Amino acid sequence: MLTIHGDRISGNCLKVKWIADHLGLAYRWVDVDVVKGEAKAPAYLADFPMGQVPAVVLTDGRRLAQSNAILLHLAEGSALVPADAFARAEMFQWLFWEQYTHEPAIAVRRFQRHYLGKPDSEIDPALMVKGRAALTLMARHLATRDWFAGGAVSCADVALVAYTRVAHEGGFDLAEWPAVAAWVTRVEAVLGIG
């Protein structure tokens, strides 16, 4: 059986769970508390040297880390990976952007503010600037379409919704970006979360 190691406070972990649930995959969830440093424990590092969550053990025993790599592996052959080559490349584009630009601003600010309890005055102001820029780019993209790649929900939407839906916990009010807020509602409906 598939085993998912993750922390439920992490959007990166939840997106793997949501994909597995959406696809009806049987799995076992193993809690790994990142705040307590459990992903850096020697036993965990022996199995997952990157020392991060999520990480999975596939049914054949192989191990895989990095949320978007896991998403793509689990969703291979499903409608969550567009069949059209350009739409698939567009999905990859947004997956890479999510980890390089979106997550390092919105998720990091959320973690510092919501989980570490830091006041805004102690959080790098660049995170707010970068997060707002990311949400503005998303709103522009969604102004003329319902999904990020192709004509249906894809792994790109799942990856991007994970931290966008809780952006308010980082001080971002999605009311400023109504196209993004509407898209969050659409993705949550498809995934059955909310």
pLDDT band at 194; cut points 50, 70, 90:
confident
The model's pLDDT over 131-187, given as tens digits with 9 standing for 90+, comes to 999 999 999 999 999 999 999 999 999 999 999 999 999 999 999 999 999 999 999
pTM of the complete model: 0.95
SS3 letters for the chain?
Answer: CEEEEECCCCHHHHHHHHHHHHHCCCEEEEECCCCCCHHHCHHHHHHCCCCCCCEEECCCCCEEECHHHHHHHHHCCCCCCCCCHHHHHHHHHHHHHHHHHHHHHHHHHHHHHHHCCCCHHHCCHHHHHHHHHHHHHHHHHHCCCCCCCCCCCCHHHHHHHHHHCCHHHHCCCHHHCHHHHHHHHHHHHHHCCC
Domains of the chain: 2-75 (3.40.30.10), 85-191 (1.20.1050.10)
Percent of the chain whose predicted confidence (pLDDT) is above 90: 99
